Structure 1
Amino acid sequence: MPKFYFHTQDGHVTHDEDGTILPNLASARREAVRISCQMLRMREDEFWLTRSWQMTVTDEVGLVLFPIDVAAHLSPAVAGTLP
């Protein structure tokens, strides 16, 4: 079974050194969404400081299989009211 690596960037880069063995790419996509949701929930305050977050999923040789990008843009109505 292939191994997938889930690297994140939210102002600093975190490399997944261990990887996760999964049966296929579809499983890796589901796992990426699950991990992304969990990480964003755990770091919601930090997310609003940078307003962007990315996960890049690679294979065992470092080939990028897909990224997940999350970005927030403040409306002009609230842009001056939030830090």
Structure 2
Amino acid sequence: MPRYFFHVHDGGSVPDDLGLALPDIGAARTAAIELTREILRSELVGPFHDYSCWRIEVSDSPELTGLPIFVLHFSVSQ
């Protein structure tokens, strides 16, 4: 099973050095959407006015310099 890494960028970068073993890219997309939901619900990420635009780069590498397989963009507007 391939391993996918979910790097979060929100004004800074939070690399994913563990990743998830998932059966395919569809499962990786679902996991990225779930991670987005968790970020939006979390109180650990700080106020949204600090970072209104976020992205999750899904890669096959734990390194931030790896090429993304796909990118999920999301934003919060008030």
The alignment's TM-score, normalised by the length of structure 2, stands at 0.81
Cα distance, 1:73 vs structure 2: 4.2
Could you tell me which runs of 5 or more consecutive residues in structure 1 were left unpaired when the two chains were aligned: 75-83
Identity, in percent, stands at 30
What RMSD, in angstroms, separates the aligned Cα atoms of the two structures? 1.9
Q: Looking at both structures, which has the greater relative contact order when contacts are Cα pairs under 8 Å and sequence separation is at least 6?
A: 2
Alignment coverage as a number of residue pairs: 74
* In 2: Cα distance, 1:5 partner to 1:57 partner: 5
Q: 1:60 to 1:11 in 2, by over 3 A?
A: closer
Question: Rg larger in 1 or in 2?
Answer: 1
Q: Which has the higher helix share?
A: 1
The alignment's TM-score, normalised by the length of structure 1, stands at 0.76
In structure 2, what is the equivalent of residue 19 of structure 1? 19
Structure 1 residue ranges (4+ consecutive) displaced by more than 6 angstroms after TM superposition? none
Could you tell me which runs of 5 or more consecutive residues in structure 2 were left unpaired when the two chains were aligned: none
